[in-house]
Chains A and B, each alone.
Chain A
Amino acid sequence: MSKGNGDLVQLTGKDFKSDQEVRWCPGCGDYAILNVVQGFMPELGLSRERLVFVSGIGCAARLPYYMQTYGMHSIHGRAPAIATGLAVTRPDLSVWVVTGDGDALSIGGNHLIHALRRNVNLKILLFNNRIYGLTKGQYSPTSELGKVTKSTPMGSLDYPFNPLSIAIGAEASFVARAIDTDKKGLTEVLGAAARHRGAAFVEILQNCNIYNDGAFDYVRDDKENRIYLESGERIRFGAEGEKGVVQYADGSLKIVDVEEAGENSLLVHDASHMQASLAFALSRITFETDGAVPLGVFRSLEREVYDDLMNDQLDAAREQSGEGDLATLLHTGDTWTVA
């Protein structure tokens, strides 16, 4: 692999560290994510110049500065739009969007859903800490109802978004979730996202130890509450795999005791199911409703990729009418000559 100077060498995570000092708060979950992302990059098998990280605004959005790749720290919420223009004109690049819950789901909600439905070849990493960190502690669109923050002294009135439900509803062809400190789980999800051609949406549960500490302790600390999804496998979890997920006739899911329900009654996960309803139902399993959190790949479906379709049309047009000729274009329609 090229290190950038044409020499073929094996890159390591260190090769993806830029010379900039990392400036998140000590103890922030972003450090863990950055380390995993840098450590994962060599697995892509791409030289550094072919990687681009585009971010919006927020704590997460600083990540591109720390990556020894091409990068753009852009405008609040707009990264998916900017990255779309880059990805469709440069199909040779691997384009990653780094965003947060405010950036992606509040100010940039519109761009996120349209990038997903178009299936632009982008890898979108949403660091969800359920709070506005950079602006110092206001509630975010994923904060729970009633949350007391600096801007909601009597409690938030906003019902929260479920990021995965949004992504699935927006026709995302790849949807996954991981935890900042779960190196193995996050690395696997990043790999699956990278291998997916099209838009890949990854929610990363990230702890903001300053303004929303412990928001995900129920799954960050308590590993028995993690439901690791494996396509083709029955969905079960718990310290001994004693709990599982069953699906009722009405499509709803429920956590059951495996011994009571019987192993054969457990739901088999299928991330590539044509219908989005299974992935959607899984996204509705939350700690608040069921005391457990599914992780891994919820949905991974092959679908037409916007970039490919656009570039195919260019090829088709050239095949049909030849490479465009400017002089011919200017003379289109009725012309007349003055001697």
Chain B
Amino acid sequence: MAKVKPVEHLERVVIRFAGDSGDGMQLTGDRFTSETAAFGNDLATLPDFPAEIRAPAGSLPGVSGFQVHFADHDILTPGDQPSVLVAMNPAALKVNVGDLAKGGTIIVNTDAFNDRNLQKAGYASNPIADGLLSDFHVHEVALSSMTVEALKDVDGITSREAERSKNFFALGLMSWLYNRPAEGTLAFIESKFAGRPEIAEANTKAFKAGWNYGETSEDFAVSYEIAPARLEPGTYRQISGNTALTYGLVAASKLSGLPLFLGAYPITPASDVLEQLAQLKQFGVRTFQAEDEIAAAGAALGASFGGALGVTTSAGPGVVLKSETVGLAVALELPLVIVDVQRAGPSTGMPTKPEQGDLLMVMFGRNSFSPVPVVAAATPAGCFHAAIEAARIAIKYRTPVYLLSDAYLANGSEPWLIPDLSTLPDISTEFATGPNGDDGSFLPYKRDPETLARPWAIPGTPGLEHRIGGLEKENETGNISYDPENHDLMVQLRAAKIAGIAADIPLLELDDPDGADTLVLGWGSTYGAIGAAARRVRAGGRKVATAHLRHLNPFPSNTGDVVRAYDKILVPEINLGQLRMLIRAEYLVDAVGYNKVRGRPFLAAELADAITTLVDR
């Protein structure tokens, strides 16, 4: 598709697609992102959708959005403010226009701006006509009617089906406007709708009609080009956090040589992992959709007892139910990976929205003293390595391990330099094969002196028959014991085993190019926003250091040295200060928080303001 209009160059753009839940905005955003990734820009995305599958059409709660930030340089976040808003109806305009940068561009589907939809969105009059949008550059496009017109010759579809292709019209127009390659989307349509060729034809025609509209309409005088970013050489793909996590678990199975068993109960935003693993049976992956969260965890632990890599995935409201199984895994000292894709709470909360509210739950939410290692992913692609790391610790130390992600990482995506498999760690282990006692007996709780891990003797191994359980065990023999000194010893040994993992994890990396006296310490999905904010603060001539924790229990061994080296410490969290509490308690430093719990990621600008205020104090 050749270009005849002038092309302007931009460094970066933030586009938000917004429409009804049923308008296909997530698909549109996904496709635009794939085109952008294939073009070679750096990018980050933020899908934002309601929990309701189809909220009432045209209503404010039913608005679904997808934001994509792409640039000719490396970027860290999906962008604070969209520069372009595609609004498929009045409700989408109303919900999103407040976020748009002044002077930004709005593309509206004028066909949807009828009295009924305006009323549903709470507009007394049409905002396009009455000057409410004078701060913006508005393109009025009759998306629905032009789509229907473009598809009038397609046989076998109703006019309602024709109208539903309008998201591909919008995608075609945006693809033209930003000079995105179209081949990937056209191939996608062919394969996705292979079973309904008439729908494939309709969507292809709608896409091309949108593209051609941009090319011919006088409303669009120029198109834009954002040059590819200079990224590290290698082969890339676009990946979301949940897909990266899925692949990380499969990789952990391959790297350990243990068959993967997933016990899960469907829950937003973790269900993708169950669904994706269910498609990977050729890797020997067994997925068990259990009757409840408890059984999901229990079955995973049972599989671990038998020598599999037992994994259970959920979100906070499901993870609470698994805590008794995690406690049993602590007592049994068997590997188990528990994935918590955090969402806003308490209780059911806001299922599709991110939060960092579960840190203290996974640290302490069990009876008695039951220490469990905690690993947290920092970026969508980072979920891959985080999953391998969680499995590595679980297998090597025979312990349950919590892996924290969140709704933003789960659904957000970014380009990923696909790793060379030879760079991935060997996480294999050895099962016990013979007696380990001096008298030729088998002692299931006799520990490895270095790791303090106990032997993993799986059923089927002759001569090592033994019984384990939740009752306190005598050191070494594993027999039931109520001896006071033995219990104290076992509590200490379990604690020492987990604490000792600190010697086996990377040091906390510090980014302090200028010798600052203020440190920003983060964990989890705030990584991008903290990094972007630090860039702004440094660009403004101030000094700030950053560090990001990927291990929350135990902390890396140099964490105390790092935090004590700074006069001022800021801990931004999408909770009311959970890491801050741990850091203050552990290291006696006066860390302060930046805490907003809105069910959305931090904006780089607000964090930059908070950092600046602390630096200047």
Contact = CB atoms under 8 A, between A and B. Distances in A.
A338 B282 contact: no
B247 interface: yes
B471 A75 contact: no
Interface of A: 2, 4-6, 18, 20, 47-52, 54, 57, 64-65, 67-75, 78, 81-90, 92-93, 110-111, 114, 310, 313-314, 316-318, 320-324, 326-327, 329-339
A338 B232 CA distance: 7
B233 A85 contact: no
A220 B368 CA distance: 43
A84 B236 contact: no
B300 A85 contact: yes
Which 5 A-B pairs have CB atoms at the shortest separation, nearest pair first? A73-B469, A85-B302, A85-B299, A324-B283, A81-B298
B292 interface: yes
Given A65-B467, A73-B471, A335 B301 contact: no
Interface string B322-335: 00110010001000
Contact of A339 (B233, B263, B307): B233
B295 interface: yes
The residue in A50, A84, A327 that gathers the most chain B C-beta atoms within 10 A of its C-beta is: A84
A75 B470 contact: yes
Nearest to A83: B302
Interface string B216-240: 0000000000000001111111100
A321 B302 CA distance: 29
B235 A335 contact: yes
Interface in B286-333: 286, 288, 290-292, 294-296, 298-308, 310, 324-325, 328, 332
B295 A324 contact: no
The residue in B305, B307, B463 that gathers the most chain A C-beta atoms within 10 A of its C-beta is: B305
B517 to A, nearest CB: 38
Interface of B: 34, 37-38, 40, 184, 231-238, 247, 250-251, 254, 259, 261, 263, 280-286, 288, 290-292, 294-296, 298-308, 310, 324-325, 328, 332, 418-419, 421, 459-471, 479-480
A85 B40 contact: no
B481 to A, nearest CB: 12
Nearest to A64: B467
Contact of A326 (B232, B237, B250, B305): B250
Contacts of A114: 290-291, 295
A334 B181 CA distance: 12
Contacts of B328: 74-75
Contacts of A322: 282
A334 B243 CA distance: 14
24 contacts: A2-B462, A5-B463, A6-B462, A52-B459, A67-B467, A81-B302, A82-B305, A85-B304, A86-B302, A87-B302, A89-B286, A90-B307, A90-B460, A316-B281, A326-B251, A330-B418, A332-B237, A333-B238, A334-B184, A336-B237, A338-B40, A338-B234, A338-B236, A339-B233
B421 A86 contact: no
A88 B296 CA distance: 13
Given A72-B332, A73-B468, A74-B328, A50 B235 contact: no
